[in-house]
Amino acid sequence: MSSRRQRLLLAGRIAVWVVVIACVAVFARNLRWHAVREAFRSAEPALLLAAVLLWVPCTALQGLRWYSLVRAVRPLPVLTVLSCAYVGYAASAVLPMRAGEAVRIELLARSAGLSRAVALGTVAIDHTVNGVVMLLLAATLPFLLPVPIWTRVVVWSGVLVAGALLAVMLRLARKPSQRLHPPGKLMEVVLRLRGGLVGLRTPRAALGAFAAAVAAWTLEIATTMVALAAFHLPHGVAPAMAVLFGVNLALAIPAPPANLGNFELGAGFALVALGGERDHAAAFALGLHALQIFPTVVMGGLFLLRFRRRQIAAAAHAAAHPSEVEESAAFGQERLPAEG
Q: In Å, what is the CA distance from 163 to each residue of 58, 166, 193, 284?
A: 24, 5, 20, 33
Give the ranges where 71-202 is alpha helix by DSSP (H). 78-92, 100-112, 116-138, 141-144, 149-173, 185-194
Residue 110 included in any domain: yes
239-261 average pLDDT score: 81
Higher pLDDT, 297 or 150: 297
Q: What is the DSSP string of 209-271?
A: HHHHHHHHHHHHHHHHHHHHHHTTS--SHHHHHHHHHHHHHHTTS--SGGGTTHHHHHHHHHH
169: in domain: yes
Question: What average pLDDT is seen over the chain?
Answer: 84
Query: Among the ranges 141-155, 187-201, 305-319, which has the highest mean pLDDT value?
Result: 305-319
Decide which of 323 and 95 is more confident. 95
Residue 174 one-letter amino acid: R
Is 148 within the bounds of a domain? Answer: yes
Q: What is the pLDDT of residue 334?
A: 53
User: 188 vs 252, which has greater pLDDT?
Assistant: 252
Residue 320 within a domain:
yes
Q: Has residue 337 been placed in a domain?
A: no
Q: Name the residue type at position 69.
A: L
Residue 331 has pLDDT above 90, yes or no: no
| Helix extents (H) in 174-202 | 185-194
Residue 307 has pLDDT above 60, yes or no: yes
Question: Is residue 336, in this structure, part of any structural domain at all?
Answer: no
Angle among Cα 300, 270, 91 to the nearest 5 degrees reads 15
In a domain, 338, yes or no: no
What are the tens digits of pLDDT across the range 118-134? Answer: 898 999 999 999 999 99
For residue 201, give the amino acid letter: R
Instruction: Please tell me which residue, 291 or 2, carries the higher pLDDT value.
Output: 291
Q: What is the mean pLDDT of residues 287-306?
A: 94
| Confidence at residue 180, expressed as pLDDT on a 0 to 100 scale | 46
pLDDT, one tens digit per residue, over 131-148 is 999 989 988 888 888 877
Of 120 and 317, the structure prediction assigns the larger pLDDT to 120
| More reliable by pLDDT, 165 or 77 | 77
**What's the mean pLDDT in 79-103?**
88
Query: 4: how many CB neighbours lie within 10 A of its CB?
Result: 8
Inform me whether the pLDDT recorded for 232 exceeds 90.
yes
Total domain count for the chain? 1
Is the pLDDT reported for residue 185 higher than 70?
Answer: no
Domain that holds residue 276: 3-331
Q: Using only C-alpha atoms, what is the Rg of the chain? A: 21
Mean pLDDT check: name the lowest of 19-33, 47-61, 80-94, 193-207: 19-33
pLDDT tens string 262-278: 888 888 888 888 888 88
**Residue 110 three-state SS:** helix
What is the structure's pLDDT at 44? 95
Question: Is residue 218 assigned to a domain?
Answer: yes
Regarding predicted confidence, which is higher, 158 or 185? 158
Lowest mean pLDDT among 83-92, 163-172, 327-336: 327-336
Is 113:95 a contact under the CB 8 Å cutoff? no
Instruction: Please say whether the beta carbons of 322 and 97 come within 8 A.
Output: yes
Helix (H) or strand (E) holding 289: helix 278-304
